[in-house]
Chains A and B, each alone.
Chain A
Amino acid sequence: MPTKTSTIEAKTEGLELLQEIFDSIPNGIILYDSKGEVVLLNKSVKLIFTKNLKPSINRKQVFANLKDFFKYEVEFKYNADDVFNKVIKDKQEFSNLFIISKEKPEKVVRVSAKPFGFNNPKTGNAASGALFHFEDVTHFINQQKKLQEKFLRTTQEKERWQAIFDNVEEGIFTTGKDLIIQRFNERCEQLSGFSKAEAIGQRYEYIFKCHNKHGPLTLELSPINKVILTKEAVPYDEHLQSTKDGREYWVGASYTPVLDKEGNVEECVVVIRDISRLKEIDQAKSEFVSIASHELRTPLTIINGYLDLLLTGQLGELGDPTKKEFHKNLINKIYKESKRLKSLVEELLNVSLIEEGKMRLRFQKVKVNQLVEEVVTEMNYLANAKNINLRSELRDDSLVMADPQKIKQVLTNLIDNSLKFTGNGGTIEIKGHKEDNHYFVEVIDSGVGIPKRLIPNLFEKFQQVSGSYLKENKGTGLGLFIVKGIVELHGGKIWIDSDLGQGTTVAFKLPLLANRE
């Protein structure tokens, strides 16, 4: 009984062994003679070409089959005959011809061919032929395609992320746990003054020089170091930073560690924002509160001071007839200060309403010149007290849509200012005329005038002629801010023309009511 071993032994000799090996080769192999007749062919040829192939077939049939099963790839410039002839006659070798099946599922076969000499089994003579290898590379090609697609997708994703990274408003950068900068977006370039090339690979503290109000933030004190050491994020920190050329600006930053599988810090991601503008607004608000508080406390101190003295009997018994005039005088002072406090509160409320855009205007059709005349009449008394000539010269029709009370407030304020800055015997003239679909009003005084350099800021809060709140003596500096607010809420504009010693003209214009009648 032949054992397995003996079966192998039996095949040790001769063609049987070779045939088995030949058939086990995954490539399809065909040996053709010079006429195109198949000399040898292995089983894999059948596996690759799906239809049945008889052993004794010639090249044309195989290629005929090939033509049936496969369409030619674009690179396959030659047809089957050309290839065969080039191999037989020109002894040319081919190694990377790809053919694709016509039928689905798509099959890709790599064809190589070379000239081959052998002993013709029929004649026993030496013969020349062509040896063809067919390798099914479908899987390989598919893998390649998938990888290519994946690579393309990955590249696109990467480009998209890069675009996002470079276009966000925030500066984003990352460092390794060694605090060397790894990534650095465009906004970081703008904020720090360093280019990506300069920053990447550089130490963090070289690019970002930070300080807070106590002094420079050394590396030990900086939030990023804390993150590296504690592995915890610092959600928000405000500090000053210097740019490459030494300019300082306020920054709001958040720091987040990225941990590896073992829980160690791999890198730190930092997002920074320029908060200079926010700081300015913050500061302006604080200043406003500070100044407003100060202004409110002054009349309050006087009111409470006198009341305290009167009520504690330090100024004599209340009701004591010998003190009557004295007490009455003090009570008048208290009253005056109370009125001052009231008008201050009104001003502050007006400022608040204007800022919040909540000032309510009661629009009606009004003639501006009429309002001017009313105000001039009301203020003549004050003007006469200083021997100032207050008069109006108004031309043209002046119908506008306006809140009459508010416009009168504007006029009163402007004339008040003029009275303040015009000496005895001076003049204040209110002129009005129509031009360019607006009604123009000018308040012109012969007073001391305002230095040109101070004019741009006069309409801001707490701005007064001396340019410094600490040094000003009267009023709050809010009047012009409110006046401007009111004029602009009416759709108008206001401006000042003046110079030291040249008097002052404050002018504003209001849009005229479109004439439809």
Chain B
Amino acid sequence: MAEDRIKVLLIEDEKELLELYKLKLSLDDYDVYTAQTGQEGLKRAWTDQPDLIFLDIKMPEMDGFEVLKQLRENHKTKDVPVIILSNFDEQEMIEKGLSLGANEYLVKSTFTPDEVSKKVDDWVGEEED
């Protein structure tokens, strides 16, 4: 049964944010995996093969851009939809994220948890058509 559910990986170092999104995504019947560091996030991405990854930028030791680079370099995760969830809204950040291969860049504070969750539908749904 767990195999039917869509797998979402949350890579976010801020514990309370992680809890918030995990709560909402679980309510919406997604199978939620979490990681609080970039390193851990990569490991989970390659072992658990999620259907979509939400990725934060500001994280200790390895930031989101580095994680994204490595995700795209690896054949297992080069095509998985990655949505950057960050509170930086600078043009340079957005451009960098998209140019490194992110599918979308969301500024966290401008979206409700519901809107974030709906993004999973947008990106994972397409693949199955």
* A→B interface (CB under 8 Å): 290, 293-294, 297-298, 300-302, 304-306, 308-309, 312, 314-315, 333, 337, 466, 469-473
The docked-state distance in angstroms from the alpha carbon of A473 to that of B17 is 13
Contact between A466 and B113, CB atoms less than 8 A apart: no
The docked-state distance in angstroms from the alpha carbon of A298 to that of B12 is 12
A-B contact pairs, 19 of them (CB 8 A): A290-B90, A297-B109, A298-B14, A298-B17, A298-B87, A298-B108, A300-B109, A301-B87, A302-B16, A305-B20, A305-B21, A305-B24, A305-B112, A306-B20, A308-B113, A466-B60, A469-B58, A471-B62, A472-B60
**In angstroms, how far is the closest chain B Cβ from the Cβ of A338?**
12
Contact between B114 and A297, CB atoms less than 8 A apart: no
**In angstroms, how far is the closest chain A Cβ from the Cβ of B45?**
19
Tally A-B pairs: CB < 8 A: 67
- Contacting residues, chain A, for B112 (C-beta < 8 A): 304-305, 308
The docked-state distance in angstroms from the alpha carbon of A302 to that of B23 is 12
* B→A interface (CB under 8 Å): 13-14, 16-17, 19-21, 23-24, 27, 57-63, 87-90, 107-109, 112-114
**In angstroms, how far is the closest chain B Cβ from the Cβ of A317?**
15
- Contacting residues, chain A, for B19 (C-beta < 8 A): 333
Contact between B114 and A312, CB atoms less than 8 A apart: yes
Which secondary structure characterizes the binding site on chain A? helix
- Contacting residues, chain A, for B90 (C-beta < 8 A): 290
- Contacting residues, chain A, for B113 (C-beta < 8 A): 305, 308-309, 314
The docked-state distance in angstroms from the alpha carbon of A290 to that of B90 is 7
Pick from A314, A466, A469: contact of B114, CB below 8 A.
Answer: A314
Query: Beyond A302-B16, A302-B20: 13 further Cβ-contacts under 8 Å?
Result: A293-B89, A297-B87, A297-B107, A300-B109, A304-B112, A309-B24, A309-B113, A314-B27, A314-B113, A470-B57, A470-B58, A470-B59, A471-B62
**In angstroms, how far is the closest chain B Cβ from the Cβ of A94?**
89
Determine which residue in B16, B19, B21, B114 has the highest number of CB atoms from chain A within 10 A of its CB, and name it: B16
The docked-state distance in angstroms from the alpha carbon of A473 to that of B58 is 8
Contact between B23 and A471, CB atoms less than 8 A apart: no
**In angstroms, how far is the closest chain B Cβ from the Cβ of A312?**
7
Determine which residue in A298, A300, A312, A470 has the highest number of CB atoms from chain B within 10 A of its CB, and name it: A470
Known: A294-B58, A298-B87, A308-B112. A471 touches B63 (CB 8 A): yes
- Contacting residues, chain B, for A290 (C-beta < 8 A): 88, 90
The docked-state distance in angstroms from the alpha carbon of A14 to that of B23 is 138
Using CB atoms, name the residue of chain B closest to A307.
B112
The docked-state distance in angstroms from the alpha carbon of A302 to that of B15 is 10
- Contacting residues, chain B, for A308 (C-beta < 8 A): 112-114
Contact between A304 and B60, CB atoms less than 8 A apart: no
Contact between B23 and A301, CB atoms less than 8 A apart: no
**In angstroms, how far is the closest chain A Cβ from the Cβ of B117?**
10
Known: A294-B87, A306-B20. A301 touches B109 (CB 8 A): yes
The docked-state distance in angstroms from the alpha carbon of A472 to that of B21 is 21
Pick from A302, A470, A471: contact of B17, CB below 8 A.
Answer: A302
Contact between B88 and A314, CB atoms less than 8 A apart: no
Contact between B60 and A301, CB atoms less than 8 A apart: no
Contact between A297 and B108, CB atoms less than 8 A apart: yes
Known: A297-B108, A301-B109. A471 touches B59 (CB 8 A): yes
Pick from B13, B20, B62, B88: contact of A294, CB below 8 A.
Answer: B88
Q: Which 5 pairs between the two chains have the least Cβ-Cβ distance?
A: A297-B87, A297-B109, A473-B60, A470-B63, A301-B108
Contact between A293 and B87, CB atoms less than 8 A apart: yes
Known: A297-B87, A301-B87, A312-B114. A473 touches B109 (CB 8 A): no
- Contacting residues, chain A, for B59 (C-beta < 8 A): 470-471, 473
**In angstroms, how far is the closest chain B Cβ from the Cβ of A213?**
11
Using CB atoms, name the residue of chain A closest to B20.
A305
- Contacting residues, chain A, for B89 (C-beta < 8 A): 293
- Contacting residues, chain A, for B62 (C-beta < 8 A): 471
Pick from A298, A300, A471: contact of B61, CB below 8 A.
Answer: A471
Using CB atoms, name the residue of chain B closest to A470.
B63
- Contacting residues, chain B, for A337 (C-beta < 8 A): 16
**In angstroms, how far is the closest chain B Cβ from the Cβ of A292?**
11
Known: A290-B90, A304-B109. A309 touches B23 (CB 8 A): yes
Using CB atoms, name the residue of chain B closest to A337.
B16
- Contacting residues, chain B, for A466 (C-beta < 8 A): 60-61
Using CB atoms, name the residue of chain A closest to B113.
A305
Contact between A301 and B17, CB atoms less than 8 A apart: yes
**In angstroms, how far is the closest chain A Cβ from the Cβ of B98?**
18
- Contacting residues, chain B, for A301 (C-beta < 8 A): 17, 20, 87, 108-109
**In angstroms, how far is the closest chain B Cβ from the Cβ of A472?**
6
